[in-house]
Amino acid sequence: MIEFKDVEMQYPNGFKGLKNINVQIAQGEYVAVIGLSGAGKSTFIRCINRMHDITKGELIVNQTNVHQLRGKEIRQLRRNIGMIFQSFNLVTRSTALKNVLVSFVPEMPLWRKLLGIFTQEEKRKALTALDQVGILDKAFVRVDQLSGGQQQRVALARTLAQTPGIILADEPVASLDPMTAKQVMGDFARINKEMNMTVIMNIHHVDLALAYATRVIGIRAGEIVYDGQASDVTEAV
Ligand code: ADP
Ligand code: ADP
């Protein structure tokens, strides 16, 4: 469960990225956060994993008050929250498998990452994650030889391998062609259903949001202006 109570987030220059946010998101929801560029979508999701710090109110994630967490506790919080970006943030010269391997155990010692030493169990988990997003056959292909959609699936597999309870996705399909974007949205929907992972996704394509998410939150100028079931929305908000 994620709960925002009277949350405000003010940037250091004084600009309020979020104002008066009150919302609850239950485990297993697939939420699309929609709104124009600059509305505050990124600010909203980045508060959840403490990439931004709220400046008023309370933000509770799985019974913990995110604002009160310190160093090690923030890392613990983030272990349960996967993050997917528009730019896939992969090591393009490494294979799909290696990208999943080096990322899914945050506490793995650096020397093991550098030498590429992984256990059979780790490798099995990574391959399972690639299988879950339908690109097991690309495990040993370098990322720079994959299509955009396949690269976003590698990023999704990397997140899945951490088995987080929550996935935050910041415009994950913005740089994909319409067909591929639909497939990736479908991947998120399947993972959300089969693994009961909460998905909170920023997306400016209203039609895609309505077709795949179960709940839609509309943000404008740092405030929630719409919150409802995707199936209740008949036209763009
Ligand atoms: P969205 O994701 O909806 O495009 P953002 O959450 O990125 O919007 O930004 C919301 C607003 O906050 C925008 O008006 C943006 O200009 C402003 N903003 C973003 N980052 C900063 C910052 N570091 N300092 C001041 N204002 C910022
Ligand atoms: P490197 O760049 O060090 O050669 P790779 O990126 O090729 O490593 O492989 C990453 C991991 O996958 C390593 O643990 C390697 O042993 C394993 N691996 C590579 N190719 C295969 C393969 N064809 N079948 C099974 N495991 C492989």
Residue 112 confidence class, pLDDT cut points 50, 70, 90: confident
Write the single-letter amino acid at 104.
Answer: F
pTM: 0.85
Residue 104 confidence class, pLDDT cut points 50, 70, 90: low
Of 103, 108, 112, 123, which is best to mutate to test ligand 2, by the most ligand atoms within 8 angstroms of its C-beta?
A: 123
Closest CA to 61 of 43, 71, 48: 48
Residue 194 confidence class, pLDDT cut points 50, 70, 90: very high
Residue 102 confidence class, pLDDT cut points 50, 70, 90: confident
| 143 Cβ closer than 6 Å to some ligand 2 atom | no
Res 237 pLDDT > 60: no
Closest CA to 46 of 1, 69, 90, 78: 78
Res 12 pLDDT > 90: yes
| ipTM given for this complex | 0.71
Strands of the sheet containing 166-170, edge to edge, are 81-84, 166-170, 198-202, 30-34, 215-220, 223-229
